[in-house]
Structure 1
Amino acid sequence: MSVLLTGGDGYLGWPTAVRIASRTDDHVVLVDNFARRGWVETVGSTSATPVASMDDRLEALEEVHGVRNLSFVEGDLTDGDFVDQLLRVHEPETIVHTAAQPSAPYSQIGRERANYTQHNNLQSTRNLLWSLHENGLEDTHFVETTTTGVYGAPSFTVPEGGATMENQGERDDVPFPAMAGSWYHLTKSHDAANMRLAHEQFGIPVSDVRTAITYGTDTTETAADPRLGTRFDFDYYFGVVAHRFCAQAVAGYPMTVYGRGQQRKPFIALEDAVEGLARLALSDPDDRPDNHTVYNQVTRAISIVEVAETIADVANEYGLGVEVEHFENPREEDETHEMEIENDRYDALIGGQSVTFEESVRSIIETLLENESTIVAHEDRFLPDILSEG
């Protein structure tokens, strides 16, 4: 039996694969086309931390952790023939699908990147689901990281998955409506709908893991050797807000809070995000749900201004003298929205939050200080610019 993990070169995919392989004797197969490295280069940025080649990563994994059951296949999931061959050869018991163009700002640059994002993300997921069906692998557990961004910013507590609607005295449970605010987030809304349809039509067991803003530089396994490290993006397009703020602090750059910054966003540490995916991937087939299950992969909601102030406080412990400044918001959003989001199902899956935001920030600052020259060389990437669509 085997586990197939897509997006194995990515920020979340690589450490998840390492944890899964460390906990099982089953074969774990990674697949990636290394597109993320290229996307970041096109916006003039790079990972703050060195990202080793896949060969070096696998060699280090065996040397450091004694893990020999992880292998890598390079390929493009938008190619249906490639996906068919991949699934026929490996017949995975579980697929953990983390491959996607993950940046909302990148998808918003213009028509070309919006189209690319939607084609890449939707075609990959459809190919995997249809290939499972057409190759008689409908019992394979399909786990995908979608996003809490599919919920938008409703004024009520966000449920963990569906909702109950009432009209003219009749009530029924329905999927949460797609309220995404970017061309990227809409791909995950469509993926969520397509996974639900694949479960209904093909019987494929689905875990839709709606991932919050994920922060952190390492997990327990990847911290053991620099060659095992995952990437850390800090630019406007691919760096999540907590990472960008930490990089700005290290570079001596004012932390750029857009607008009032009072809006609360869902967050989760990389360690806790990886743990949930690993537990789903390795769940006993006899105990695994055979239905369609939604998990809100989040541990707490934090306002953007609180994120900035917390990072500033921690950074100042290292003598960085950080300031928080407010800038005109380039995004259309409610700067006072206080998101509340249910996460009971995911919290039970991981057994509760394992690391606090403050602890993660200290680890991030320490790691980035070791890579300060890379950040300073790309500090012009902290804020958006206009890219040509050539």
Structure 2
Amino acid sequence: MSIIVTGADGYVGWPTALRIADRTDERVLCVDNFARREWVASLGATSATAVASMDDRLAAAEEQGYTNLSFVEGDLTDRAFVDRLLAVHEPRAIVHTAAQPSAPYSQINGERANETQHNNLQATRNLVWGLQEAGLTDTHFIETTTTGVYGAPEFPIPEGGTTMENEGERDEVPFPAMAGSWYHLTKSHDAANLRLAHSQFDIPISDVRTAIVYGAGTDETRADERLATRLDFDYYFGVVAHRFAAQAVAGYPLTVYGKGEQRKPFVSLDDAVEGLARLALVDHAERPAAHTVYNQTTRAISIVEIAETIAAVGDEHGLDVDVEHVENPRDEDETHKMEIRHEKYDDLIDGQSVDFRAGIDEVVGAMNDRRSVIESHEDRFLPDMLES
């Protein structure tokens, strides 16, 4: 038996695989097709941190004592590959972090939207159907979907479902898909497919709805520079906190649209990895309920707070950072106070929470150490008018 981590070359997947391997003697199998590297490179962008080859990563991991970590290259949209993978390794748990993760990338044009939807949905369907047909329906399937499936409603977002009332009758129903991009809609479909997989196949499902993840590393990735995870800062693959940090390092003002008081859910990389590792390692008898939704977030943070925190941290790193408010070109509520429940996720990670400022300090420091990389790619801060 083994634990499989898909998307294990990625920003969240790699440190998750390391943490799981550090806490178990079981075989931890990393699976990836290196598509994330290709997508970022296709846009002329790069990671702020140097990302080692998988061979170098595995060599460094073994030197650190991770003798139970191995890797298989393959495409999860290829059903034959998935069937072989499951037949050979018979996983007791799968942590599925493989996906095209960028909403802006999925919005570039129809080709990228189709690529995103095919990649994300086909991979998940192949895995759950593969488990069913291989007789592995007791395998704990843990997927990172996204809090973006909820949209931005004016009421507190529940952790998974909600209550609907009609003609005096009430029932618990899944939260309606309110995705705002072709990427986010893939995760809405995944969430529905996971419910169906549990209903039809009785596969135990943990649907981990991941917030915006920030941070430059974890204890595991800091142990050797070859173990570093990626740190994207471009418009398409860099989250807002990382883009702002890169702009600060490059000497650009941090531009906040309008008031910038609208809040978004965030979780540190370490807090995200911790929850996934705990779910993968939980004993069979202590697993969560057969189908459980977690809101993988620790707090909501406003855009202006992000900018002001980065400006303050930047000053401590010797950077002169200005925050500028400009007229908002978007039709949006600049003061939306998103509320999102996350009690189940808090319980899962025992209430641990990386301080936002501390996490941002490491991001700014990592980017400042590689300032030449940031400055040579500063044209990636804003979107290209791509025609293809």
- Identify whether the pair has TM-score above 0.5, normalized to the shorter chain: yes
Which stretch shifts more, 190-199 or 360-369?
A: 360-369
Q: Tell me the amino acid that sits aligned with residue 162 of structure 1.
A: G
Query: What SS is found at the alignment partner of 1:250?
Result: helix
Separation in structure 1 between the aligned mates of residue 294 and residue 58 of structure 2, nearest angstrom: 30
Mapping of residues 1-390 of structure 1, within 5 Å = 1-63=1-63, 65-327=64-326, 329=328, 333-389=332-388
Q: Tell me the amino acid that sits aligned with residue 28 of structure 2.
A: V
Q: 1:327 offset after TM fit, Å?
A: 4.3
Separation in structure 1 between the aligned mates of residue 76 and residue 219 of structure 2, nearest angstrom: 29
Q: Structure 2: which 5+ runs fail to align?
A: none
Separation in structure 1 between the aligned mates of residue 359 and residue 280 of structure 2, nearest angstrom: 25
Separation in structure 2 between the aligned mates of residue 261 and residue 386 of structure 1, nearest angstrom: 25
Q: 1:333 offset after TM fit, Å?
A: 3.7
Separation in structure 1 between the aligned mates of residue 297 and residue 206 of structure 2, nearest angstrom: 15
Q: Tell me the amino acid that sits aligned with residue 122 of structure 1.
A: L
Query: What SS is found at the alignment partner of 1:93?
Result: strand
8 Å contact from structure 2 (residues 2, 93) kept in 1: yes
Q: Tell me the amino acid that sits aligned with residue 341 of structure 1.
A: I
Q: Tell me the amino acid that sits aligned with residue 3 of structure 2.
A: V
Separation in structure 1 between the aligned mates of residue 256 and residue 200 of structure 2, nearest angstrom: 45
Q: 1:330 offset after TM fit, Å?
A: 5.9
Separation in structure 2 between the aligned mates of residue 372 and residue 325 of structure 1, nearest angstrom: 22
Q: Structure 1: which 5+ runs fail to align?
A: none
Separation in structure 1 between the aligned mates of residue 258 and residue 282 of structure 2, nearest angstrom: 43
Q: Deviations over 1:172-218 (max 9, x none)?
A: 00000000000000000000000000000000000000000000011
Separation in structure 1 between the aligned mates of residue 174 and residue 35 of structure 2, nearest angstrom: 32
8 Å contact from structure 2 (residues 253, 324) kept in 1: yes
Distance 1:384 1:78, change over 3 A: same
Separation in structure 2 between the aligned mates of residue 21 and residue 192 of structure 1, nearest angstrom: 27
Query: What SS is found at the alignment partner of 2:218?
Result: coil
Q: Tell me the amino acid that sits aligned with residue 117 of structure 1.
A: T
Separation in structure 1 between the aligned mates of residue 327 and residue 385 of structure 2, nearest angstrom: 16
Q: 1:326 offset after TM fit, Å?
A: 3.2
Query: What SS is found at the alignment partner of 1:286?
Result: helix
8 Å contact from structure 2 (residues 265, 297) kept in 1: yes
Q: 1:316 offset after TM fit, Å?
A: 1.0
Query: What SS is found at the alignment partner of 2:14?
Result: helix
Separation in structure 1 between the aligned mates of residue 330 and residue 83 of structure 2, nearest angstrom: 40
Separation in structure 2 between the aligned mates of residue 328 and residue 29 of structure 1, nearest angstrom: 49
Number of aligned positions between the proteins: 388
Query: What SS is found at the alignment partner of 2:213?
Result: strand
8 Å contact from structure 2 (residues 217, 269) kept in 1: yes
8 Å contact from structure 2 (residues 298, 353) kept in 1: no
Q: Deviations over 1:29-49 (max 9, x none)?
A: 011000000111111100010
Separation in structure 1 between the aligned mates of residue 30 and residue 70 of structure 2, nearest angstrom: 6
8 Å contact from structure 2 (residues 113, 182) kept in 1: yes
Q: Deviations over 1:252-276 (max 9, x none)?
A: 1111323432110000110100000
Q: Tell me the amino acid that sits aligned with residue 43 of structure 1.
A: L
Q: Deviations over 1:293-336 (max 9, x none)?
A: 00000000000111111111111122211011234556554322
Separation in structure 1 between the aligned mates of residue 84 and residue 28 of structure 2, nearest angstrom: 16
TM-score by length of 2: 0.98
Q: Tell me the amino acid that sits aligned with residue 266 of structure 2.
A: F
Distance 1:191 1:331, change over 3 A: farther
Separation in structure 2 between the aligned mates of residue 98 and residue 109 of structure 1, nearest angstrom: 22
Separation in structure 2 between the aligned mates of residue 372 and residue 321 of structure 1, nearest angstrom: 14
8 Å contact from structure 2 (residues 103, 236) kept in 1: yes
Separation in structure 1 between the aligned mates of residue 8 and residue 139 of structure 2, nearest angstrom: 19
Separation in structure 2 between the aligned mates of residue 35 and residue 234 of structure 1, nearest angstrom: 17
Separation in structure 1 between the aligned mates of residue 200 and residue 268 of structure 2, nearest angstrom: 35
Give the CA RMSD over aligned residues: 1.0
Separation in structure 2 between the aligned mates of residue 358 and residue 56 of structure 1, nearest angstrom: 31
Separation in structure 2 between the aligned mates of residue 12 and residue 180 of structure 1, nearest angstrom: 22
Q: Deviations over 1:147-171 (max 9, x none)?
A: 0000000000000000000011000
Separation in structure 1 between the aligned mates of residue 340 and residue 78 of structure 2, nearest angstrom: 36
Which stretch shifts more, 254-263 or 66-75?
A: 254-263
Separation in structure 1 between the aligned mates of residue 333 and residue 283 of structure 2, nearest angstrom: 43
